[in-house]
Structure formats: structure tokens, C-alpha cells
Amino acid sequence: MTSKKPVAPLASRNGVAPSRVWCPPGPWSLLIEFLLERFPHVPRADLERRLGCGDIVAEDGQTLHLHSVYQPQRWLWYFREVAAEVAVPFELTILHEDHALIAVDKPHFLATTPGGQYLYETALTRVRQFFDDVQIAPLHRLDRETAGVLLFSRSIPYRGVYQQLFQQGAIYKCYEAIAPVTSTLALPFTQTSRIEPVPNKFVMQQVAGLPNSCTHIRLRQQWQDEQGQCWGHYALEPETGRKHQLRIHLSSLGIPIVNDKFYPVLQAPVAADDFSAPLQLLARRIAFTDPITGQRRQFDSQRRLACLPLT
């Protein structure tokens, strides 16, 4: 397979770029046979319909059909389909935009990039649609459940320069969370641990070994509810960016974030249109020295965690 990045023969569609799949050598005579094996989760009727409509094309732009012969060593291009994608009824706010960088304030429940059951209801697709620019790409990610500041690259020549800031730990990030307060944890506190994926699952876990994650934890405010439970408004400053790092660190300390459906115990999924219990985690601030201009940049979320008491 060539290492050169293939050029899509299809233009973007409503802010969504086409997807591709590589055709390796194999025993298939017809293209449909390969597609059925490559995409076992897609019903045969759907694949036949898409081939019948000419929705799948070869790398030279040739339209492929139901009886097309399988040809290896080439790319196929298509647009992903998501059945009955649920609309996320919350606005994504543009905080800043220039020729190289875009900062947005992402709401809860909006995925950063397309994947799984989310295609158009993502921050990336909304930003691409707003600026009419399919070249825009995320510089980092926030969980679908997490709200707050999210950065995008607007210029391909500068993209790698900004990405290096994240890789080098040169980005200051401050999050806020609502979680229980316990008398057994002296604050401020720095939690370090080794975080690794749970095999064949979406969640992560802490394991023995050299730490690869670090989070500084401070308590900004605390209060009691009517049942006498003590809650805290925490400031979290991660030095690293492991998947689910903040959620795992607080859960491991006995103070899981309010409305966390993954930690400490994975709960049954809720309906896709249930927006009643947002995870109480907010990416409040991102700051860094711009490698292009040399200026200090700071972007702050304008959102407020729903469980904070009114003052």
C-alpha cells in the first residue's frame, strides 16, 4: 500500500468529508462479497441499496454497482450513514477565529468528531458547516459528555505546530467538576497513576506501573444539600491528557463526578435523546503561548455547571 495520502474523488457533503476503505488481496469475486465481510454490522439490504444508487466510488471516481467485480489494491470512497441521528438541541458558541485557529465553547452531549451513531451532530461538523471549510480539524478532543473550550486548526500548514503544543504538554488546561466532598481526602491534592484501556471495552482503568497521568485537584467551594450530603466545586489542572483521566482520578479518590455513567461503575446506556443529566465536567480554560505570533492566548468557557448552587 502506498504511503501517500489518497485524494478523495468526492466533495464534502454538509460539512462531512467522505470515508474510505482499502481493498486488500482476497478471495472475493464481487465487490458486494467484500463489503459484506468488511462491514458485518451493516445489513445486506443497505449495502445493496447503496451500490444500486451509485453511492460507493473507486479512487478514480468510477461509480461502483451491485454486480461490480472486486478489484484489490485500491481505495473505495463513500459517505457514512447514521440511521435516525438524534439532534443535540444545544448551541456551539464560537469564542475566537482567525486565519489559523478556532476556539469554540462546546455544549454537553455533542461529540467532538463523527463516529458511531454521531455524524452531523458533532462539533467538527458544525464548525465546518459554519465556516464552509472541510479542511478544519480538531487539535484535541473532549468527551461527548464534557462541555467547554475546544480548539480547531483552520490552516493545514500551522496544524502540526499547534498539535506539538499538546504533545509537549505546553498547553495549560483547567477544568471544573462537581463531585462529593469527603473528609478523608486532604486538598489540594495531586493524583498520579498509570491509566490503560480495559481490553475490548470503551472505558479505561488504573493499573500498577509507572504513572502516565497527573492531575492537580483543588476545592473551590463546598455546600450541603437538603439531605446533608456535602458537595464540592473542584478545579482540576491536568498535566497529561489520558482518555477519561479526570473522571478516573476523581472516581479513584472516592469522589466520582456527578452524573458520570462510566465511573466507578459502567451504567446502562440512556436513550440518545435523554439530555436530563449532563456530566458535571467543564473545560473552563485553555491557555498557551502561540507558536506563530508569540502572544499569550487564553480562551475561557462561558458555560456554568448545572449543579452549582445559585449565589
Average pLDDT over residues 61-70: 95
Average pLDDT over residues 103-132: 95
Average pLDDT over residues 66-94: 94
Share of residues in the chain with pLDDT > 90 (%): 85
Residue 3 has pLDDT above 60, yes or no: no
134 in the same domain as 24: no
Give a yes or no: residue 144 inside a domain.
yes
Give a yes or no: residue 291 inside a domain.
yes
Supply the pLDDT for residue 92.
98
- At 2, is the pLDDT very low, low, confident or very high (cuts 50, 70, 90)? very low
Residue 309 has pLDDT above 80, yes or no: yes
Give a yes or no: residue 167 inside a domain.
yes
Per the prediction, the chain carries an average pLDDT of 94
71 in the same domain as 114: no
- At 298, is the pLDDT very low, low, confident or very high (cuts 50, 70, 90)? very high
Residue 35 has pLDDT above 80, yes or no: yes
Q: What is the CATH number of the domain that holds 277?
A: 3.30.2350.10
Supply the pLDDT for residue 269.
87
Of 78, 113, 128, the position where a domain reaches its end is 78
CA 175 to each of CA 18, 28, 124, 289: distance values in angstroms, whole numbers, following the listed order: 34, 51, 21, 19
Supply the pLDDT for residue 70.
97
pTM of the model: 0.90
Average pLDDT over residues 216-230: 95
Residue 284 has pLDDT above 70, yes or no: yes
- At 116, is the pLDDT very low, low, confident or very high (cuts 50, 70, 90)? confident
226 in the same domain as 122: yes
d(CA 239, CA 65): 51
Residue 299 has pLDDT above 90, yes or no: yes
Supply the pLDDT for residue 1.
43
231 in the same domain as 274: yes
166 in the same domain as 136: yes
Residue 112 structural domain: 93-300
Average pLDDT over residues 51-68: 94
- More reliable by pLDDT, 237 or 41: 237
